[in-house]
Amino acid sequence: MKNQNSKIQTITFNARGITLIALIITIIVMLILVGVTISVALNGGLFGKAREGASGTQIELDKEILASAALGTMGENGEVNFEELDANLPDGFEGSNGTYEKDGITFIVDKYGGVTTKEKSTEELTALEKYILGENGEGGVELFGEEGVSGIINHNEFSFINVPEELKNNGGITLKAYSMVASSDEIISFNFDGEDYTSNGLIVDIYFVYNGATYKFRALVDTYFSSGKTLADIGVKNISYDETTRVGKTVSYDDKEWIILYDDEEHGLQMISKDALKKDNSAGITLGNNDEILNGKEIQKFEENKNGDNLNLEKAVYSYNNAVKTLNDVCDELVAKNDKITSVRSVGSKATGDTNADDVGLYTQKEGDSNTNLIKWPTSDSNYNVGVGNGKGKATDMNYEEDYDRMVALGINVADEEYWLASRWVNLAPDSVYFSVRDVSEGFVQGYDLLGVEDSEAYGDYHSCAVRPVVSLRSDALDNVSGSGAEDDPYILN
């Protein structure tokens, strides 16, 4: 018994000894792990990244707050009143005339209420951004030049020049298209073909492909595209699409080919006609004082309220102001319907929500503006209540931008014919004002003037283009259909 007790005691002692050693080793290991964790947290940026995440969220919140304040100052011309915004800045913001600071971040508000930030440091700018926007990312880089001369674009050949070697090594950069965005209040003096000119600048978006992705940047140019500089408004924006969706796939419907434009929760499933379409035996859809839709539905009202020489001008005003709905209606008429189609609109109208929504307001001028021709524009006394005076034509809108960005990314902005975009812009010059509906010719967005004022003389005009309908489908419309969506094996929609 004694020996057994002795053995038991010995075993018990050894077990306690092992537990104590294990405990000591565990404590040591835990101390080491704690030290490593603290080191990673402090030196590896764990807390820093958490702060960055919180900072990023705050920046987005500040952008929303500033955008809301800017939108609250918009006048009838659809543009931000910066004097009013400066006088009523949200708490924490400082600055003026579209450039504001808060917590070390620079916020830029454009004339349409869009807000961007310049939180990147110079060191964080990519080679691509530095090439286009300059070493500090603030824009101002000369746009047009020739090989060996200052400038980044050879406009005659529509190609980039003076490209840094590091950008060439990644496959180079290729220009794709440009679009007229808006007129600028900035007056530009320039020389073209030996003649000196003065004009309001044009704000344009320039699209390009780099390393397999599609980008765009904004620039200010003269009316002849002979001089210009890059702008930092939108930075260098990647507009590529999610290639894991059906976007870009081909659909065969109603003996026509269609390209899937959107396939996501926000837009639903939308497809656009590959070709520009017209009504049977027509030269296209006419807008302006010879608007066939207007003549068919509204002409009698104009005839009953004749107003001499203003009659054609009033027709042009009416057609211009109703252009978005007119183009949407025409596109709807051109598309055969079945139970898989939910709606039809014109390309260039709003891609989500009410596609006929047209709430930019009327374009107005006041004394002191760089161009006050509209103030001298004669006002109609027509009972039809169209009028041709200051504040009668709708302001510039950006409805087209989302569609056109996607079309450039897909490489389908070029069609077989010139086509309308359901979007408007007001083009200024020192002695004239033009009201245009946007159209696409050879893949480039421009605008055709339906009415204008030159040296206080108002006139109306008309123009014809084809259209490109955008069809919204039920989410299950392409389920269980034949075809793979490839160009030579399209989805067959019946």
Query: Are 66 and 153 members of one domain?
Result: no
Q: Check residue 34 and give its pLDDT.
A: 60
Query: Are 113 and 127 members of one domain?
Result: no
On whether residue 321 sits in a domain, the answer given is: yes
Query: Are 281 and 423 members of one domain?
Result: yes
Q: Is the pLDDT of residue 309 over 60?
A: no
Query: Strands 105-109 and 213-221: what pairing?
Result: unpaired
Report the domain count for the chain. Answer: 3
Q: Check residue 2 and give its pLDDT.
A: 34
Query: Are 309 and 431 members of one domain?
Result: yes
Which of 65, 99, 117 is the endpoint of a domain?
117
Task: Please write the tens of the pLDDT for every residue from 414-455.
Answer: 999 999 999 999 998 888 899 999 999 998 999 999 988 887
Phi-psi region of 235 (alpha: psi -120 to 50; beta: other; left: phi over 0): left
On whether residue 26 sits in a domain, the answer given is: no
- Which of 54-68, 114-128, 369-383 is the least confident region? 369-383
Which of 88, 117, 146 is the endpoint of a domain?
117
Query: Are 348 and 438 members of one domain?
Result: yes
Better-predicted residue by pLDDT, 114 or 401: 401
Task: Please write the tens of the pLDDT for every residue from 187-226.
Answer: 888 887 788 888 889 999 999 999 889 999 999 999 888 8
The structure's pTM equals 0.75
Q: What is the mean pLDDT of residues 387-395?
A: 79
On whether residue 211 sits in a domain, the answer given is: yes
Query: Are 209 and 355 members of one domain?
Result: no
Taking Cα atoms as reference points, which of 483, 484, 485, 481 lies closest to residue 494? 481
- The answer to whether 451 and 280 have CB atoms below 8 angstroms apart is no
Which of 63, 84, 117 is the endpoint of a domain?
117
- The answer to whether 63 and 55 have CB atoms below 8 angstroms apart is no
On whether residue 8 sits in a domain, the answer given is: no
Query: Are 384 and 452 members of one domain?
Result: yes
Taking Cα atoms as reference points, which of 435, 444, 443, 442 lies closest to residue 462? 435
- Which of 88-92, 298-302, 435-439 is the least confident region? 298-302
On whether residue 328 sits in a domain, the answer given is: yes
Q: Check residue 385 and give its pLDDT.
A: 54
Query: Are 108 and 138 members of one domain?
Result: no
Exposed, middle or buried: residue 483 (CB in 10 Å: 0-12, 13-18, 19+)? Answer: middle
Half-sphere exposure of 167 (CA within 13 A, CB side): 18
Q: In which band, very low, low, confident or very high, does the pLDDT at 71 lie, cut at 50, 70 and 90?
A: confident
Q: Name the average pLDDT for the chain.
A: 83
On whether residue 393 sits in a domain, the answer given is: yes
Query: Are 83 and 175 members of one domain?
Result: no
Query: Residue 326's Cα: distance from chain center in Å?
Result: 23
In residues, how long is the chain? 494
Query: Are 190 and 308 members of one domain?
Result: no
* Count of CB atoms situated within 10 Å of the CB of 43: 9
- Which of 105-114, 333-342, 398-407 is the least confident region? 105-114
- Which of 8-12, 392-396, 451-455 is the least confident region? 8-12
On whether residue 39 sits in a domain, the answer given is: no
> What is the C-alpha separation between 165 and 172, in angstroms, rounded?
9
- For residue 157, give its domain range: 122-238
Query: Are 276 and 231 members of one domain?
Result: no
Task: Please write the tens of the pLDDT for every residue from 34-54.
Answer: 665 555 444 444 444 444 455
Query: Are 112 and 153 members of one domain?
Result: no
User: At CB < 8 A and 24+ separation, what contacts does 158-163 make?
Assistant: 160/208, 163/131
On whether residue 27 sits in a domain, the answer given is: no
Q: Check residue 304 and give its pLDDT.
A: 55
Half-sphere exposure of 283 (CA within 13 A, CB side): 8
> What is the C-alpha separation between 169 and 164, in angstroms, rounded?
9
